[in-house]
Amino acid sequence: MNQRIIDIYDEYTRGHLDRREFLRGLAHLGVGAAAAYALLAQLEENSAKAEIVPKDDPRLLMEYIEYPGETGAITAYAARPKDGAELPGVIVIHENRGLQPDIEDVARRVALEGFYAIAPDALSPFGGTPDDVNQATSLIQQLDYQATIGNFVAAVQYLQTHPQTTGKVGSMGFCWGGGMTNQVAVNSPDLTAAAPFYGDQPDPADVPKIRASLLCHYGQLDNRINAGIEAFETALRAASVDYGIYVHKGADHAFFNDSRPERYHKEAAELAWRLTIAFFREKLKDSRIVAHYKLDEINGSIAHDSAGHYDGVLHGDPVWQNSSGKIAGALQFDGVDDYVETPTVLDPADGAFSTCVWIKGGAPGQVVVSQTDGLGSGEIWIGADPAQGRLVTGLVPPGGGRNSPSALQSEFIITDGQWRHVGLVWDGSRRRLYVDGAEVARDAGTLSPLKPSDGGLHIGAGKKLDAGSFWSGLMDDLRIYNQALGTEEIEKLARSL
């Protein structure tokens, strides 16, 4: 397609031209009336085609929420995983068409990557985004710009204080939303990371106000926006802002929007997505979580660690259950020889840590998680006692003698065939056991440090792979933290829907 036609359409979608002026511009390029209307129909976005994550994806909780903004209540589309965990927040800012289905789909995609995503509707002061895209574009031009910035800054505050977030917040936006993302970075010292896509750059004089890390995406052919890169980068360097700029070869303005086939650039969009998610994970990560095995893979012999570099290897023949998990998928163990082996995740002797996991099934004497060490010993982190299947941990301090601490055992039977959220917390002096968010056992007195172990984990088997220790049932969403979680945090993790 002629680049000049794309440029005129770009001016039309930005609100710089109305429909009549757009058609007149095509006429000046020699495009007849009938062809112009047909071309407009081809160029008009079809957001329904852009859906990548279904609106009813069972892994997510999705809803429309309201938060207080500078102009009053602001409506936003919210999406987050169903696991009930505290997550980093990400604001997704729409283009100049208002909150459209393709932006809601981006929010769902962000949520599936492990974030609490909200996509605010900038047209909330007008009652929300109308169905007519042209009307929405017109209304965007009527917004009070500074008040609109304030409404998005308020979204940072909303996510920062939300009980389901870690308090760290990032923002990403496209076109008009890319420029708005830059403005949020200028105006909110609480924003941690920002990823503007082909957005207008802020005034260089405002750049020293930026506290967030930036990852800026541009299309190589987007001449108008790219004209501001040099001055922006000079200001970023002078202000010592943590930033990255990526100009995507062969891509034009709006290259990420897969509902606009005349602009969508598949390779650039996919690369920009990977870079942005990696950027958010690095800048917004919860430094407390050491390993996170979601156990919702579809196939393969690897249990991926979404938090770090401790991928596990499946042994025996565990079966991925795509829709039978507590949250989404799960891993089925046969109780004979199935287990997952991981590298060394942590040494219990180093200090406080926590671990929790969803389980279903099992039998007395079977093990949920254990750790080996270089001598082949190690301890059971979480298991079911041999007599009745009660929750137990075998982690103990070193030494021997009559007064040495023994395994900590609860009275709660976890092998009852129900989904149970089980957890172990070591705070450096006491062990605590949890079932479904409630504390069920703790040490009466303080203990010395736990036995050291430099071995990897056995998920679904004992430390020595003894017969009878293999788990027979399902597991879902195993997490390991390098801190002692409080009861309230354990309750949130157990509040999976």
Quick: pLDDT tens for 101-116: 999 999 999 999 989 9
403: pLDDT strictly greater than 60: no
Which pLDDT band, with edges at 50, 70 and 90, does 397 fall under?
Answer: confident
Query: Higher model confidence: residue 447 or residue 42?
Result: 447
The predicted structure's pLDDT at residue 47? 45
The predicted structure's pLDDT at residue 333? 98
Assess whether 321 and 422 both reside in one domain: yes
Last residue within a domain, chosen from 251, 284, 317: 284
Assess whether 402 and 436 both reside in one domain: yes
Distance between CA 72 and CA 189 in Å, rounded? Answer: 22
Burial class (CB in 10 A: 0-12, 13-18, 19+), 398: exposed
Assess whether 183 and 199 both reside in one domain: yes
Last residue within a domain, chosen from 228, 263, 284: 284
178: pLDDT strictly greater than 60: yes
The domain spanning residue 168 has which CATH number? 3.40.50.1820
40: pLDDT strictly greater than 90: no
Assess whether 223 and 304 both reside in one domain: no
Mean pLDDT to the nearest integer, 190-216: 98
Give, in degrees to the nearest 5, the angle at Cα 329 between 468 and 369. 35
43: pLDDT strictly greater than 60: no
- State the CB neighbour count (10 A cutoff) for residue 442: 14
For residue 187, give Cα distances in angstroms to 90, 157, 202, 477: 16, 12, 11, 37
Mean pLDDT to the nearest integer, 385-412: 85
400: pLDDT strictly greater than 60: no
Assess whether 111 and 231 both reside in one domain: yes
The predicted structure's pLDDT at residue 25? 67
Assess whether 194 and 276 both reside in one domain: yes
Tell me the pTM. 0.69
| Residue corresponding to tokens 């149970």 | 420
Assess whether 8 and 153 both reside in one domain: no
**137-141, 261-265, 391-395: least confident range:** 261-265
Burial class (CB in 10 A: 0-12, 13-18, 19+), 228: middle
The count of domains in the chain is: 3
Distance between CA 250 and CA 456 in Å, rounded? Answer: 46
Arithmetic mean of pLDDT over the chain: 90
Assess whether 162 and 309 both reside in one domain: no
Assess whether 242 and 311 both reside in one domain: no
Exposure class string for 278-313: b at 16+ Cβ within 10 A, else e: ebbbebbebebbbbbbbbbbeeeeebebebeebebe
Assess whether 316 and 192 both reside in one domain: no
Distance between CA 293 and CA 307 in Å, rounded? Answer: 8
The domain spanning residue 377 has which CATH number? 2.60.120.200
Mean pLDDT to the nearest integer, 198-216: 98
Last residue within a domain, chosen from 284, 319, 346: 284
Closest CA to 428 of 450, 403, 456: 450
Identify the domain containing residue 12 by its residue range: 3-29+32-42
457-459/367-371 β-pairing = antiparallel
Which pLDDT band, with edges at 50, 70 and 90, does 32 fall under?
Answer: low
The predicted structure's pLDDT at residue 17? 64
Assess whether 38 and 135 both reside in one domain: no
Which pLDDT band, with edges at 50, 70 and 90, does 6 fall under?
Answer: low
Mean pLDDT to the nearest integer, 45-54: 66
Mean pLDDT to the nearest integer, 323-350: 92
Give, in degrees to the nearest 5, the angle at Cα 411 between 410 and 414. 85
Closest CA to 346 of 387, 378, 298: 378
For residue 89, what are the β-bridge partners? Answer: 116, 169
Q: Mind listing the pLDDT tens digit for each residue in 258-290?
A: 888 888 999 999 999 999 999 998 899 878 889
Assess whether 369 and 326 both reside in one domain: yes
